[in-house]
Amino acid sequence: MNLDFSSMPQYTQLFINGIIMTIELTLISVAIGAVLGLIVALMKMSSVKVISFIGSAYVEIIRGTPLLVQILIIYNGLPQFGIKFPGFVVGIIALSMNSAGYVAEIIRSGIQAVDPGQMEASRSLGMSHSMAMRYVIIPQAIKNILPALGNEFVVMLKESSIVSVIGFADLTRQAEIVSSVTYRAFEPLIIIAAIYFVMTLVFSRLLSKFERRLRSGDTR
């Protein structure tokens, strides 16, 4: 069977809608995941054993279970207890929680990489531990881990395709719709594969440019 892309242009709007939904889902999920990941990282580093255990348990559970299973638990499992969310909200919750488990470890390693003398100097200036973390340690850590956070965004952009299993109208779901209408699976899948590649390439290049600007700012 020969490839035939002649019918694909008429579904351009579907692919555009899928791109928009995919980017929206990824941006919101990574933003929430970064905030939640920071909280989990601080919990894991807490001197209070109960809080540290909760933070560690969260990371281990999230990283030790498949994202697909996490999505299905929220989408199919929670309604059994009367808790039901729309597909978009399910996608955000699942991807945010999943991202947080990985971001927490990135942030924790970034904080631990900051020279301990920074904390000592901050405390000697009269700052409390929380103030030193907020104004001195965390800003330095975030700057150091930006490449890793950027990679997490790219990974999440690709992994967001899994929400199509719950009917969310992301890019992958749109390809399935086109495939069901045209009875051709290969062509729409090749198209979205190319789109994902271009999106990840563009975001990676933008991230690299941003990192270079940060490094040039440090040398001034």
Residue 219 has pLDDT above 60, yes or no: no
**Domain spans in the chain, listed from the N-terminal domain onward:** 15-218
Q: Of 37-46, 50-59, 189-198, 205-214, which gets the smallest average pLDDT? A: 205-214
- Rounded to whole angstroms, the Cα distance separating 37 from 42 reads 9
Task: Please classify residue 29 by burial: count the beta carbons closer than 10 Å to its beta carbon, then call 0-12 exposed, 13-18 middle and 19+ buried.
Answer: buried
Reported as a single tens digit per residue, the pLDDT across 36-78 is: 999 999 999 888 999 999 999 999 999 999 999 999 999 999 9
- Residue 118, phi then psi, degrees to nearest 5: -65, -40
Dig out the tokens for 129 from the structure.
Answer: 């531990």
- Residue 178's contacts (CB-CB under 8 Å, 6 or more residues apart) are 8, 11, 14, 15, 188
Sign of the four-CA dihedral 191, 99, 96, 57:
positive
**Quick one: DSSP state of residue 80?**
G
Band the pLDDT of 81: cuts 50, 70, 90.
Answer: very high
- Residue 53, phi then psi, degrees to nearest 5: -65, -40
pTM for this structure? 0.85
Fold of 15-218: MetI-like fold (1.10.3720)
**What mean pLDDT is predicted for residues 159-163?**
90
